[in-house]
Chains A and B, each alone.
Chain A
Amino acid sequence: GAVVSQHPSWVICKSGTSVKIECRSLDFQATTMFWYRQFPKQSLMLMATSNEGSKATYEQGVEKDKFLINHASLTLSTLTVTSAHPEDSSFYICSATNHRESYEQYFGPGTRLTVT
C-alpha cells in the first residue's frame, strides 16, 4: 500500500514558540492531504484540507492563523503550530489521497506534540 511519513514523530516545545510538522507521501502523488488532531481517548477531528497549489480549507473552529498549512507540492504538506500553548498538546495525524486513483486515505504515523 501507499506510504505516508510524518516528521517529527514527537516534539516538545515551549509555550509561545512555533512548531512545523511535515507530511510526505513517499510513493504516490497526493492531490489532497488532510490534517487531523486527536486528544487522548477521543476520535480524530478534521482540522483542515489541503490541496496542492491552493489554500487550505479549515474546519469550523480551527484558527487558520494559528495552524498554518502549506501544500507546496504533490508529495509534501506542512502544518505549523504558531505561538503554541499547552492546550495545543495533542496527536497530529495527516493523511493523503489521490482522488484520481483511489478512494482511500493513507495515514501517516502521527506526531505527538507536547507544549510545556
Chain B
Amino acid sequence: GQNIDQPTEMTATEGAIVQINCTYQTSGFNGLFWYQQHAGEAPTFLSYNVLDGLEEKGRFSSFLSRSKGYSYLLLKELQMKDSASYLCAVRDRNRDDKIIFGKGTRLHILP
C-alpha cells in the first residue's frame, strides 16, 4: 500500500519562510513530486526529487531523504500569491509508476 502524510493547514507571514513536511510509505518509491494548487484550478508542478538531497529552484526548495521516507518543501520570501494548497505526491514503480497524491497542505499567508 501507500501512505502519504502532510499537515492539513499551515499559516505563515508574508516575507517569511515556511517548511511543509511530507512523510510517505511505499514499497516501490520512484520519485516524489510537489505541486501547487490554487482553489478551483489544476495543480502546477513545483519540483521533483528522486535522489536524496536538496533541489533549489528560485524561492522554492525541496528536500528528500529516501531512508527516512521524508521530504519537505521550503518556501522563502513568502508572497500573498503563495496562498494555496501544496500537494506531496509519490510515484510507485510497483503500481505502474502511478503518481499518488497526499491530502495536501493548505497554506495561508498573512500580511
Which of these binds chain B: A11-19, A75-83, A103-111?
A103-111
Chain A: interface size category: 20 to 34
Q: SS class of chain B's interface: helix, strand, loop or mixed?
A: strand
User: Are A44 and B98 interface neighbours, CB within 8 A?
Assistant: no
Give the residues in chain B near A34, CB-CB below 8 Å.
98-99
User: Are B48 and A107 interface neighbours, CB within 8 A?
Assistant: no
User: Are A43 and B101 interface neighbours, CB within 8 A?
Assistant: yes
Which of B41, B100, B104 makes the CB contact (< 8 A) with A46? B100
User: Are B48 and A104 interface neighbours, CB within 8 A?
Assistant: yes
Task: List residues of B (61-111) whose CB comes within 8 Å of A's CBs.
Answer: 87, 91, 96-104, 106
Give the residues in chain B near A21, CB-CB below 8 Å.
none
User: Are A99 and B97 interface neighbours, CB within 8 A?
Assistant: yes
Give the residues in chain B near A36, CB-CB below 8 Å.
101
Which of B33, B42, B103 makes the CB contact (< 8 A) with A43? B103
Does B44 interact with chain A (Cβ within 8 Å)?
A: yes
Give the residues in chain A near B50, CB-CB below 8 Å.
103
**Given A57-B96, A107-B43, A108-B42, does the pair A44, B48 have CB atoms closer than 8 Å?**
no
Does B31 interact with chain A (Cβ within 8 Å)?
A: yes
User: How far, in whole Å, are A41 and B39 apart by their CA atoms in the complex?
Assistant: 8
Task: List residues of A (77-107) whose CB comes within 8 Å of B's CBs.
Answer: 91, 93, 99, 103-107
Chain B CB within 10 Å, residue with most, of A1, A44, A45, A108: A44
User: How far, in whole Å, are A106 and B40 apart by their CA atoms in the complex?
Assistant: 17
User: Are B101 and A103 interface neighbours, CB within 8 A?
Assistant: no
Give the residues in chain B near A104, CB-CB below 8 Å.
45, 48
Give the residues in chain A near B101, CB-CB below 8 Å.
36, 43-46
A57 and chain B: residue at smallest CB distance? B96
User: Are B44 and A103 interface neighbours, CB within 8 A?
Assistant: no
Task: List residues of B (28-50) whose CB comes within 8 Å of A's CBs.
Answer: 31, 33, 40-45, 48, 50
Q: What are the nearest 10 A-B pairs in CB distance? A: A107-B42, A43-B103, A44-B101, A43-B104, A110-B42, A43-B101, A109-B42, A93-B42, A107-B43, A105-B99
